[in-house]
Amino acid sequence: MARLIIARFHAADAQDWVVVPVPLHRWRLWRRGYNQAAVLAREVTRLAGGMLAVDALSRHKATASLGGLGRKARKRELSGAIRMSPTQAAKVRGLKVLLVDDVMTSGATSDACVAVLRKAGAAKVVVACFARVLDEALDAT
């Protein structure tokens, strides 16, 4: 999956990017045992270079499963859920960030993460995901 993301990334200067995974809430991380976005981000960094900042973002609010929710409900559920780690903010300030996730559904989680990263001073944020749910599939829910 990481190789496929890198093939589409087209960044000759990948070592100049900070790679940040979309965070899971600690309870979901505890239940699952791993953060799939962090595993993917780690592999992207290993293959392409850059600096991995696995703890740059945190999901401090336990959100309900977003599956089956429409766009507005997803955005509402994520409101205030994502935060920048105060100790990690310097790692993104003025730099380019590659935000990594496995699946992007409506884009609400990515939007929330991008907003936090931009507020922390990231110069540019690019979202890299392995799969994207089509809008037609969202409209059917």
Where b means 16+ CB within 10 Å and e means fewer, 118-127 reads: eebebeebeb
Count of domains in the chain? 1
List alpha helices for 19-107, DSSP H: 26-32, 36-48, 71-78, 89-92
pLDDT digit string, tens, across residues 36-72: 999 999 999 998 888 999 999 988 876 656 666 667 7
CATH number of the CATH domain containing 119: 3.40.50.2020
pLDDT score, position 29: 72
pLDDT score, position 93: 92
Q: Residue 60 sits in which domain range? A: 2-139
Chunked mean pLDDT (size 10), the chain, 141 residues? 76 77 82 88 90 91 66 74 88 92 82 94 92 61 52
Contact 78, 112 (CB under 8 A): yes
